[in-house]
Amino acid sequence: MEEASRASKFAYTFIVLFILWLVVTASLDSQELVAGAVISLIVAALTHDVFTKAGLANLHPKRIAYAIAYIPYFLWAMIMANLDVAYRVLHPARPIRPGIVKCRTVLTSDTGKLALANSITLTPGTITLDVDEEDYFIHWIWVQDDVLGAKDDSEHVEKASEAITRPFEKFLKVIFG
Amino acid sequence: MNALAAIGEALVLIGTFFYFLSALGLIRMPDVYNRMQTSTKSATLGSLGVMVGVGIWALGTDFGSAAWLVKTIAIATFLLLTNPISAHALIRAAYKSGIPLWEGSVVDKYREHLEAKEKVAEEAPAEEGGEE
């Protein structure tokens, strides 16, 4: 993704900070709003260069719609992850078969890779160990049979990506590019 | 308004149960990687349940207001965004400092990857030496 202009970055940072101020103060008093706007302007002026690369392009309606649709999908995956953990911890035989597998992602932006790594960490049985360019190294608590029985490296990567990263990529590809 | 308080109490109870599972996982799992698995996920969802539960609970009481719910959701969002990053940093540091995987582990692609990288780094200077 190409880099946005300074004004666009500044405006985006200001909008995000001001929404954050509204949420944290949780009041619509006019004095609070003015103070929030002034402080957001100062902080945005200092930090807009490191805060964002794409600027206002992040507020494209399609991206926001996908981000909102992603929230319940992600929360559902998280609840399933915790029931999975509950099963593994409470089961007397402790059914774990851990291993580190390799996945490949189609995401290109750094923010998208961060969001994918976070999503992987909070969903069933997987935790991100390291990210190297487009390769993800993931500690899996129960390595599935078809991944374990893969004949060579490329088949292993294909099967592991199918199981771990694909479900999130279709959302994150649109949200972050 | 008592229904809101009841929902909040139920959410806090569920969150506490996941906290308990998180602590139990620390005791039952065999190595640091599997302990990170259980503690990260359960502690995050447990915290979300407790925080949002308190926010909804406050709506159902006399002294509470909507500001409680908004603030607890903000705190929960920050926690949701930062917790996996700290888990990732811890597990990566554990691997880099040489803590072995559990003997029951079936596959380690990261070791292969690091060894392949090392090999490339070793071969590159050798080629330069050959040209001279």
Q: A41 vs A13, A59, B2, B84, CA distance in Å?
A: 9, 19, 42, 30
Which ipTM score applies to this complex?
Answer: 0.81
Q: Chain B 21-50, CB below 8 Å of chain A: which residues?
A: 21, 24-25, 28-31, 33-34, 36-38, 40-42, 44-45
8-state DSSP, B64: -
SS3 labels along A109-165: CHHHHHHHHHHHHCCCCEEEEEEECCEEEEEECECCHHHHCCCCHHHHHHHHHHHHC
Residue B120 lies in a domain: no
Tell me the pTM: 0.83
Q: Report helix, strand or coil for B60.
A: coil
Residue B121 lies in a domain: no
Per-residue pLDDT of chain A (177 residues; tens, 9 = 90+): 567 788 888 888 999 999 999 988 888 889 989 999 999 999 999 988 888 777 787 788 888 888 888 889 888 888 888 888 888 888 887 778 888 888 888 888 888 888 888 888 888 778 888 888 778 888 888 777 777 777 677 777 777 777 777 778 888 888 876
Chain B residue with minimal CA distance to A122? B41
Q: Chain A 41-70, CB below 8 Å of chain B: which residues?
A: none
Residue B128 lies in a domain: no
Domain boundaries, chain A: 6-59, 61-176
Domain span including residue B15: 3-99
Q: How far apart are CA A100 and CA A88, in angstroms?
A: 18
Residue B89 lies in a domain: yes
Residue B104 lies in a domain: no
Residue B108 lies in a domain: no
Q: Across the interface, do A79 and B84 touch by the CB < 8 Å criterion?
A: no
Of the partner residues B31, B38, B95, the one whose CB lies closest to the CB of residue A85: B38
Residue B131 lies in a domain: no
Q: How far apart are CA B65 and CA B70, in angstroms?
A: 9
Residue B39 lies in a domain: yes
| Centroid of chain to Cα B10 | 23
Kindly report the nearest CA distance between residue B27 and chain A, in angstroms: 9
The count of structural domains within chain B is 1
Chain B residue with minimal CA distance to A139? B33
